[in-house]
Amino acid sequence: MQSITLIGYMCVGKTTVGKALAKELGITFYDLDWYIEERFHTKVARIFAEEGEERFRDLERRMLHEVAEFENIVLSCGGGTPCHFDNMAYLNSVSQTFYLEATPETILQHLSMSRGERPLLKGKSPEELRTFVKQQLEERRPFYQQAQHHVCVDVLDSFDKIGFVTNNIKELLQGHSPMR
């Protein structure tokens, strides 16, 4: 089985869906940010704060090439990963790529429930956050849309719906139901 990579904006559910999908398929799940944190014994937010985004993106690219070479895995990438260097072309060459697509409203709802620290969102008011998410989503969409498959995740509000999305992905992997 070729590896599976999930991309999309922050808080669309890449980790949630990735874990569920890997469990159903009986393969290993990797979150790229967690992988980086394990390898370098520090938080992604700290790398961002201390070394800057440019240094982080270079490190992220190197770790992406390392983990994406693993076989039979589900890989969840950070929201910005596909938008730098040749990352999206690389991912399409080594895995089945899935863009987990959500509206800005869904993303903002998920962000309000998220407990994780998001370096790019720090200190923004609710209105600034809304503007930032919409603008960044538009900037990133051309990269995300290069994924081989697109799956709407606006429905991720229950375990049943997570199952619906994972089943959708499994059908796409088998060549059925070409949902975009």
What pLDDT band is residue 178 in, cutting at 50, 70 and 90?
very low
The gap between the terminal CA atoms of the chain, to the nearest Å, is 22
Asked if 170 and 149 count as a contact pair (C-beta separation under 8 A), the reply is no
Tokens 């409203």 belong to which residue?
A: 105
State pLDDT tens for residues 47-102. 989 999 999 999 999 999 999 999 999 999 999 999 999 999 999 999 999 999 99
Band the pLDDT of 1: cuts 50, 70, 90. Answer: low
Cβ atoms within 10 Å, residue 110:
19
pLDDT of residue 177: 42
- Whether the per-residue pLDDT at 123 is higher than 70: the answer is yes
What is the sign, positive or negative, of the torsion defined by CA atoms of 52, 123, 140, 180? positive
Average pLDDT, stretch 93-120?
87
Domains of the chain: 3-173 (3.40.50.300)
C-alpha span between 177 and 169 (Å, rounded): 9
This model's pTM is above 0.85? yes
Q: Which residues pair with 3 in a beta bridge?
A: 95
Tell me the HSE value of 95 on the side-chain side, using a 13 A CA sphere: 27
| Cβ-proximal residues to 121 (8 Å cutoff; 6+ apart), any chain | 111, 129, 132
3-state percent helix, strand, coil for the chain, nearest multiple of 5: 55, 15, 30
Cβ atoms of 18 and 29 closer than 8 Å: yes
Beta strand residue intervals within the chain, DSSP E? 3-7, 28-31, 73-76, 95-101, 149-152
